[in-house]
């Protein structure tokens, strides 16, 4: 990390304000009192607002960006390289230190960096140039390795002189990064995995098993029963999918908890690239699944069952004592 001299700071600040009005060449994003500006390497493929170098197997690649203070006070800034994944909201996200399910991942973006975190204090009105160095895998890869530099700032505001209470606002921003070796774009491929039912929700896991991302994707899914009657429909637009990742499509059943029986789901996904995927699958719901969900979400049923069992037990004890008493009386009479 190198502190910029006065001339560099004035030059970058002037350019950053220009970028606020002309965004077709370079992207400078402002968030939480700071502005982030990519510094393009000589092997940058396209100057489009994020870091997109054409890399070579086994080589080292530097990723640089300018962090500019737009605040009148100093801020604590933390930057971490994160691997791109697809969130529950079906959008590309970068906010996790570790991606749990990486079996479908070709290369983990975060693992390419020896330095996995950088924290510094950014004085008011100053600017820093930040550099992270990645070691590109020795083995050649096709498609993309996608990640981003996840940037967080703490902005503390004192509130209340009597109590001394301090409110800390946390802001975050991501500078996306895409690594490519051959310059060609891989074709994404979606496939339907397991289907899980939980009461009135049906979760369908969908995999993108290719090293390519998807933008501006719409999804429509429909569930029908054995009589071809529609029991649920789902629609979502403006979705995005990270390379080599998965996500869930969740259908809400109209009638509440999905009843035992056989069902069919059809999912259609489209992107503006344009790509289209049609995925279909049969699934079933057993009586034990249905009953288990009903009991699990209605605790009073368990209490009633326990009460009935207690009543039955008391009746058995009463009948047993009465029968033993009758036998004793019969013995005395004899």
Note whether residue 296 is domain-resident: no
Is residue 297 in some structural domain? Answer: no
User: Is 26 among the domain residues?
Assistant: yes
Average per-residue pLDDT in the chain? Answer: 83
Burial class (CB in 10 A: 0-12, 13-18, 19+), 318: exposed
pLDDT at position 321, please?
82
Other residues' Cβ atoms within 10 Å of the Cβ of residue 122? 20
> Is there a single domain that holds both residue 175 and residue 34?
yes
Q: Which range among 61-65, 187-191, 254-258 shows the weakest confidence by mean pLDDT?
A: 254-258
**Is the distance from CB of 204 to CB of 234 less than 8 angstroms?**
no
Is residue 72 over pLDDT 90?
no
Question: Is 155 within a domain?
Answer: yes
In a domain, 280, yes or no: yes
Q: Are residues 128 and 197 in the same domain?
A: no
Alpha-carbon distances of 224 from 188, 219, 284, rounded to whole Å = 28, 17, 11
Residues 147 and 6 in one domain: yes
Find the range with the poorest average confidence among 158-172, 182-196, 286-300, 320-334.
158-172
Residue 233 CA neighbour count, 13 Å, CB half = 4
User: 167 and 203 share a domain?
Assistant: no
pLDDT band at 271 (very low <50, low <70, confident <90, very high): very high
81 in the same domain as 222: no
Give the range of the structural domain holding residue 324, as residue numbers without chain letter: 302-333
Tell me the per-residue pLDDT of 100-111, one tens digit each, with 9 for 90 and over: 766 678 889 999
Which of 180, 203, 231 finishes a domain? 180
pTM here? 0.76
Angle at alpha carbon of residue 25, lines to 19 and 28, rounded to 5°: 40
Give the model's pLDDT for residue 10: 41
Does 145 share its domain with 15? yes
Q: Residue 27 has what pLDDT? A: 45
- Is 169 found in the same domain as 54? yes
Average pLDDT over residues 298-317: 80
Query: 220: closest CA among 205, 233, 211, 208?
Result: 233
Q: What is the CATH number of the domain that holds 115?
A: 2.60.40.3880
Residue-level length of the chain: 334
Claim to verify: residue 175 and residue 29 sit in the same structural domain: yes
Torsion of CA 107, 137, 93, 216, to 10 degrees: -90
Indicate if 158 and 240 belong to the same structural domain. Answer: no
Do 116 and 264 lie in one domain? The reply is no
Is residue 248 domain-shared with residue 287, that is, in the same domain?
yes
In a domain? residue 242: yes
**pLDDT tens-digit readout, 207-221:** 999 999 999 999 999
95-111 burial string, b = 16+ CB within 10 Å, else e? Answer: eeeebeeeeebbbebbb
Whether 7 is in a domain gets the answer yes
Q: Are residues 143 and 14 located together in one domain of the fold?
A: yes
What domain count does the chain have? 3
CATH code, domain with 228: 2.60.40.10
| Residue 84 falls inside a structural domain | yes
């Amino acid at each position: 990390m190198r502190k910029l001299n006065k001339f560099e700071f004035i030059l970058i600040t002037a350019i950053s304000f220009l970028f606020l009005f002309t965004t077709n060449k370079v992207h400078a994003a402002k968030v939480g009192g700071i502005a982030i500006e990519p510094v393009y390497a000589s092997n940058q493929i396209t100057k489009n607002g994020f870091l997109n170098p054409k890399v070579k197997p086994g080589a080292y690649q530097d990723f640089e960006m300018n962090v500019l203070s737009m605040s009148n006070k100093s801020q604590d800034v933390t930057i971490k390289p994160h691997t791109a994944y697809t969130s529950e909201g079906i959008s590309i996200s970068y906010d996790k230190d570790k991606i749990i399910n990486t079996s479908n991942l070709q290369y983990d973006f975060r693992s390419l960096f020896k330095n996995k975190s950088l924290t510094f204090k950014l004085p008011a009105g100053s600017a820093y140039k930040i550099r992270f160095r990645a070691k590109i895998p020795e083995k050649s890869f096709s498609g993309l390795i996608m990640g981003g530099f996840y940037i967080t700032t703490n902005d503390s505001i004192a509130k209340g002189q009597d109590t001394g209470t301090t409110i800390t606002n946390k802001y975050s921003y991501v500078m996306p990064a895409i690594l490519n070796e051959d310059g060609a774009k891989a074709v994404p491929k979606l496939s339907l995995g397991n289907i899980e039912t939980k009461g009135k929700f049906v979760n369908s896991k969908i995999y993108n098993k290719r090293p390519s991302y998807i933008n501006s994707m719409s999804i429509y899914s429909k569930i029908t029963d054995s009589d071809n009657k529609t029991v649920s429909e789902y629609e979502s637009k403006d979705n995005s999918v990270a390379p080599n990742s998965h996500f869930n499509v969740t259908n809400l059943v109209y009638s509440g908890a999905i009843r035992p029986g056989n069902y069919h789901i059809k999912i259609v996904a489209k992107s503006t690239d344009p790509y289209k995927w049609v995925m279909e699958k049969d699934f079933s719901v057993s009586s034990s699944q249905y009953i288990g969900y009903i009991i699990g979400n209605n605790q009073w049923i368990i209490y009633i069952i326990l009460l009935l069992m207690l009543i039955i037990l008391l009746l058995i004890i009463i009948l047993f004592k009465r029968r033993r008493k009758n036998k004793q009386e019969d013995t005395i009479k004899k």
